[in-house]
């Protein structure tokens, strides 16, 4: 299929050739060395969803600011929720100044609340929408990246309370690596091969309990740091997991010159979360359980 190419030859080059091919200044944003034997790879869907949420939040915040500055009907709904008396008193005073024959403010205020008091519901929705979008963009836990442990030969991650882990003893074929284009339409990716260079790297990991069930994970960052980000991540994973010794580029990864402030701002904004990414103790317990089960299956005491 033109829009998705099977990736089976990544990492088969020599280390020297592979090191020349790796664009470390860009990969430093997708890969992170957690420890000498553990590498973390970001998930691209985290950035895409957060970019949408930030866009919706900015749009709603603009409309909210415009309503406040113009004191229009929508802002009036918000004031019915926040402080209806402060909203209605200036209206009452204007009508009195024009000679209107109104009862006392308390009586008039109660009559207005009986007629228009339900408008607080619209104000609640108007405030809840930007609050939700901000929560989804900045506070909602970001998708857990996938970690690769070369010492124990496993790849693992969390998703909505589910733990996925795959053993990679002598090869990475069980990851089922594929390169996908940026468009959700296969026909678009087939017509424009350049879209392949900016899409995610797709891998599969097995559920820790129902091992026959495998789920796909798109790896990389959004926006992509450079063309060919997906294929280079695939090579880096294979080189890191299968090399006899730890690859030299692991030590050079964090020492690469940073991108421009604007590029770093986009990457940080689209991959930012105020909540922690991992549960270290629980993760370690799940890995040990998996390794113990693998030993039992092999008949190792």
- For 157, phi then psi, to 5°, come to -165, 170
| Amino acid 77: pLDDT | 76
| Amino acid 197: pLDDT | 73
Tokens matching residue 191? 């017509």
Rounded Cα distance between 104 and 83, Å, is 19
| Amino acid 147: pLDDT | 92
pLDDT tens per residue across span 16-32: 334 447 888 888 888 88
Rounded Cα distance between 104 and 108, Å, is 6
pLDDT tens per residue across span 251-276: 888 777 777 777 777 767 666 666 65
pLDDT band at 39 (very low <50, low <70, confident <90, very high): very high
Kindly provide the b/e burial profile for residues 187-212, where b requires at least 16 CB atoms within 10 angstroms of the residue's own CB.
eebbeeeebbbbbbbbbbbbbbeeee
pLDDT tens per residue across span 220-230: 877 777 788 88
- For 154, phi then psi, to 5°, come to -135, 155
Is residue 202 scored above 80 in pLDDT? yes
Sequence ranges of the domains in the chain: 4-43+144-259+271-298, 53-139
Mean pLDDT of the chain: 76
pTM: predicted TM-score of the whole model, two decimal places: 0.65
Which residues, other chains included, contact 59 with Cβ-Cβ below 8 Å and sequence gap of 6+? none
| Amino acid 73: pLDDT | 74
pLDDT tens per residue across span 80-101: 777 777 766 777 777 777 777 7
């Amino acid at each position: 299929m033109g829009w998705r190419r099977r990736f089976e030859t990544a990492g088969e080059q020599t280390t020297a050739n592979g090191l020349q091919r790796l664009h470390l200044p860009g990969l430093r944003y997708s890969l992170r060395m957690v420890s000498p034997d553990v590498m973390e790879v970001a998930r691209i869907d985290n950035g895409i969803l957060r970019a949408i949420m930030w866009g919706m939040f900015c749009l709603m915040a603009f409309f909210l600011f415009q309503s406040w500055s113009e004191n229009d009907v929508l802002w009036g709904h918000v004031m019915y929720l926040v402080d209806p008396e402060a909203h209605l008193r200036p209206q009452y005073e204007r009508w009195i100044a024009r000679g209107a024959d109104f009862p006392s403010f308390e009586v008039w205020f109660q009559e207005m609340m009986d007629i228009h008091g339900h408008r607080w519901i619209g104000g609640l929705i108007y405030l809840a929408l930007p609050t939700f979008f901000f929560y989804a963009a900045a506070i909602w836990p970001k998708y857990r990246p996938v970690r690769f442990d070369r010492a124990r030969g496993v790849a693992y991650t969390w998703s909505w309370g589910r733990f996925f882990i795959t053993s990679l003893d002598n090869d990475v074929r069980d990851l089922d690596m594929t390169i996908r284009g940026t468009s959700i339409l296969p026909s678009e990716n087939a017509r424009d091969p350049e879209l392949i260079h900016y899409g995610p790297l797709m891998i599969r990991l097995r559920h820790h309990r129902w091992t026959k069930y495998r789920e796909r994970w798109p790896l990389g960052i959004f926006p992509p740091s450079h063309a060919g980000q997906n294929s280079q991540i695939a090579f880096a994973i294979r080189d890191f997991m299968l090399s006899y010794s730890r690859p030299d580029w692991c030590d050079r990864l964090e020492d690469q010159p940073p991108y421009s402030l604007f590029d770093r701002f986009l990457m940080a904004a689209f991959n930012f979360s105020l909540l922690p990414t991992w549960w270290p103790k629980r993760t370690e317990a799940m890995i040990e359980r998996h390794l113990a089960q693998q030993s039992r299956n092999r008949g190792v005491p």
